[in-house]
Structure 1
Amino acid sequence: MEEAVAAGQVETYGIATWSGFTDRIFTVPQLDRLAAEAAGGRQHHLQAAQLPVSLVQAEPLEQVLQGCGPIAAAAERGWEVLASSPLHGGELVQAATAALAALLRPGLSPAQACLLAAASCPGGTTRVLLSASTPARWEAARAALEQPAIPL
């Protein structure tokens, strides 16, 4: 990717993984070091990490609350952190209850509350990646993400 940057094909790049961090295959500091090596010791252009963040995939949330893990490490480096699968492939829409939604943010649907929980990840999550099957669901997601973060 550093060659693509040098050729003017891209400006920055990132890593996207489902389990690379949780399975301890690599860490943000390791990726940072490898990118620097690929850049020949110069400033590298690895600027983003994408990983699942949800109430099901809670390890990144738990780690950042303790000041560690991939989200905290990426944020320390100024990387963009993209939370993917905030509704865990739709699983949370079926599993979450109205009581959970009311606990997280009264007035939101269970899906909206779970989405806001992922978006409220402190310490560096900069974007939430999601898809919606209808314009109404997209609007509901947008409305949830306009809410203030849930204090975690």
Structure 2
Amino acid sequence: MTAALTLGTYLLRDVEAAARRAAAAPGTAWVDTAPNYLTGRAHRLLAPALADHPGLRVSTKVGFPAPGGAAAVAAGVLPPEDAERGHSLAAGYVRWQVERNRVALGRACLDTAFLHNPERTGDPAVLPIVLRETFAVLEEAASAGHLSTYGIATWSGFAEGLITVEELDRLATEAAGSPDHRLRAVQLSVSLVEADVLELALDGRGPIGTAAERGWQVFASAPLHGGELVRAATDDLAALLRPGLSVAQACLLAAASCPGVTKVLLSASAPAHWETARAALDQAAIPLWNLRKVCDVLAPHHPG
């Protein structure tokens, strides 16, 4: 079974139209965003589509003040130096931004709120303390009905060993006072460019395998590595993955076939690109033995 296609809004051009396309099919009715995407306009541009499609689920993020840094400073929830630095996971600021996100998106309850790039917090020794305090805020928001689940969206946190799924689970348990916490999602890069995490998942290991064991949602971001794969991969590689698919389709299907991945994020502005991606993910998953073979072929070309 392949992962579901999910609309990502990072660098997306026509956000509202793309969101309405995603809402048209139950299997793709999820949009992932952040208040700092599209130079701070993502939430405002998404709001009309979300209002018209109550079944369209949404995940957003907290951590980057832009836009709204000045408002957060004026509200006393963000020190000026953190606004200038451009990132904060301080508990008071996270509480303020969750509320601001709900209002901007027009949703009483966010489906998922991700802590955005916790690796940006600075001192690794302080990170567990920051996460525990922030998880407690997100547990309060969930208890109040302001969000259903929360998670971590990271680019390098797992790869650099700054966080592990096991530690996140432990910190959320401490924050909630119970193993029955609402930390239920991770978002990380999964592609054939940085294939180490995919290789680990093939054996049920690494952050994806460990999250899957817990029944968490795993969002695969940058499955085409910002378009790099479409330019660098060959027709031969596509044929090795799944004959008959284009390079882009085959690479998307590879990410969607990774065991444990439940959602693949794609920023597709053009209707044709979205439909092409959906057609690829409607196919059966690439068998594990085939993914292993491809990883072996690519091994000299990526770290590890």
Q: Which amino acid aligns with 1:26?
A: I
Q: How does 1:3-82 map to 2 (within 5 A)?
A: 3-82=140-219
Q: How does 1:89-108 map to 2 (within 5 A)?
A: 89-108=226-245
Q: Which residue in 1 is equivalent to 2:258?
A: 121
Gaps of 5+ in 1: none
Q: Provide runs of 4+ in structure 1 moved above 3 Å.
A: none
TM-score (normalised: structure 2) = 0.49
Between the aligned partners of 1:42 and 1:24, the Cα distance in structure 2 is: 23
Are residue 138 (structure 1) and residue 274 (structure 2) matched?
Answer: yes
Between the aligned partners of 2:148 and 2:235, the Cα distance in structure 1 is: 44
Gaps of 5+ in 2: 1-137, 289-304
1:133: how far off?
A: 2.9
Work out the percentage of aligned pairs sharing the same amino acid: 71
1:107: how far off?
A: 0.6
1:67: how far off?
A: 2.4
User: Higher helix proportion, which one?
Assistant: 2
Between the aligned partners of 1:150 and 1:22, the Cα distance in structure 2 is: 25
Provide the aligned length of Structure 1 versus Structure 2: 151
Secondary structure at the aligned position of 2:148 is classed as coil
1:86: how far off?
A: 0.4
Between the aligned partners of 1:5 and 1:60, the Cα distance in structure 2 is: 30
Q: Which residue in 1 is equivalent to 2:94?
A: none
Between the aligned partners of 1:62 and 1:42, the Cα distance in structure 2 is: 29
CA RMSD, 1 decimal: 1.0
Q: Which amino acid aligns with 2:285?
A: A
1:26: how far off?
A: 0.7
Between the aligned partners of 1:143 and 1:4, the Cα distance in structure 2 is: 37
More off after superposition, 113-122 vs 60-69: 60-69
Q: Which amino acid aligns with 1:58?
A: A
1:42: how far off?
A: 5.0
Are residue 88 (structure 1) and residue 225 (structure 2) matched?
Answer: yes
User: For 1:9-68, what per-residue CA distance to the aligned partner results, in whole angstroms no more than 9, with x for missing partners?
Assistant: 112111110111011001000000001111023511001111111001211111112321
Q: Which amino acid aligns with 1:135?
A: P
Secondary structure at the aligned position of 2:258 is classed as coil
Between the aligned partners of 1:73 and 1:40, the Cα distance in structure 2 is: 22
User: For 1:50-92, what per-residue CA distance to the aligned partner results, in whole angstroms no more than 9, with x for missing partners?
Assistant: 1111001211111112321001110111101111110001110
- Largest Rg, 1 or 2: 2
TM-score (normalised: structure 1) = 0.96
